[in-house]
Every structure is written in structure tokens, then in C-alpha cells.
Amino acid sequence: MEEAVIKGIKDRFGDAIIDVYEKSPRRTYVTVDPARLPDVAEYLYKDVGCRFSIATGMHMAHGIEILYHFPLDRANWFINLRVILDVDKPSIESIARRVPASEWIEREMHELLGIEFRGHPDMRHLLLTDDWPEDNWPLRRDWKDWRGGDNVKG
């Protein structure tokens, strides 16, 4: 099952699949070209029948990374799509219209990490207050509290 899915995405998306890392029999991490990510995600969700669990955004040394976690329940397997975006202007096409469950987490990553999701239907704040400044992203490593209080000690 797992091999068939990996082969399926390699056949369909070819060069867009940058790296496949089998961490353990139950966990596979696939690095994908950000430009093709929505297509790969849609394939996993609609054709393979994976569930969309959540996405994790993080600010790493090599850029802004997003992991989309897709569990395949019938195979007891997690396939995780990884994209790495430029830290200066992180931008990727939204998958919210193709995978509706991702709408909220994209809003959350937008406000906490400053990632632009192109084509998202509703880009309002989700967790932060409405008066939160536009260019202040709390989950970034270099975050400074705009209200002036002590930063969380790192």
C-alpha cells in the first residue's frame, strides 16, 4: 500500500517530488516543490483517500517550512508533505478550496508565521486579536512583542 502510494505520486508528479524519506515503517516524509504542492495534496486527499489531519508551519534556519500531515487510516501510515519556502517572502497557493478542512490552519499559519496563502477564501485572523499588527508574527524566531513586554525567554 505505502509503496504504491509513493510510486503513484512519483509517477504523476515526477520532478516535483524532491525527496522521499522513510523515517519508520509508519511515517514517511516527502519533500515537494511548493509550486505543485496543492496538486499532490489533492491527489492524496481525493484519489488515495487520506484524511487531512493538520499542517505544521515552522521557522527554521533554511527557511519557512510547512508540513502537511496526511494519515492513511486503512494502512496505519502517515505521509507528510514538506515544502520549504523563502523566509523573506513565504508564499504558497492555498489548498483550502481543494481540502476544506485546511481552511483554519492556513489562517493560523498566516497570522503566526506570516505565510501568504494565495487564493484562500477568508484570510481573517483566527487566534490573534483583530488589532494585531500586520507584520508581527509570534512563531518566528526573531519575534519581538510589539506591546513592549518581556519576550518569552529562549
Partner 1 sequence: MSKGRTVIPIGPYHPLQEEPEFFRLHVEGEKVVGLDIDLGYNHRGIEKLAENLTYDQVPFLVERICGICSTSHPFAGVQAIEDVGNFDIPERAKYIRTFIGELERLHSHLLWLGLAGHFMGYNTVWMWAWKYRESVLDLFELLTGNRNHYGMMKAGGVRRDFADEDIPRVVQVLDGLVRPVMMFRDVALADPVLQARTKHVGCLTKQDCIELGALGPTARASGYDIDVRRDHPYAAYDKVKFNVITTQTGDIFDKVVVRVLEMLESVSICKQCAQKLLEVKGPIDAEYKEIPAGEGIGTHEAPRGEVIHYTRSDGTNKPVRYKIRAPSYMNVATNMRAAVGYTISDATLTLAAIDPCYCCTERTLVVDAGTGKRIMTGKDLLKLSQEKTLKLLEKYPSRMDKIWI
Please identify, using beta-carbon distances, which residue of 35 and 101 lies nearer to partner 1. Answer: 101
- Looking at 34, 63, 78, 123, which residue binds partner 1 (CB under 8 A)? 78
Hey, which residues between 131 and 150 contact partner 1 (CB under 8 A)?
A: 138-139
Coarse DSSP helix, strand, coil percentages of the chain, rounded to the nearest 5 percent: 30, 30, 40
- Which residue in the set 69, 84, 97, 116 belongs to the binding site for partner 1 (CB under 8 A)? 69
Does 104 participate in binding partner 1 (rule CB under 8 A)? yes
C-alpha cell at position 21: 524519506
C-alpha span between 148 and 154 (Å, rounded): 17
Q: Encode 94-124: b = buried (16+ Cβ within 10 Å), e = exposed.
A: bbbebbeebbebbbbbbbbbbbebeebeeee
Position 91 contacts partner 1 (CB under 8 A)? no
C-alpha grid cell, residue 81: 508533505
Name the site residues for partner 1 (rule: CB under 8 A): 23-24, 26-27, 29, 51-54, 56, 58, 60, 67, 69, 71, 73-74, 76, 78, 80, 100-101, 103-105, 125-129, 138-139, 152-154
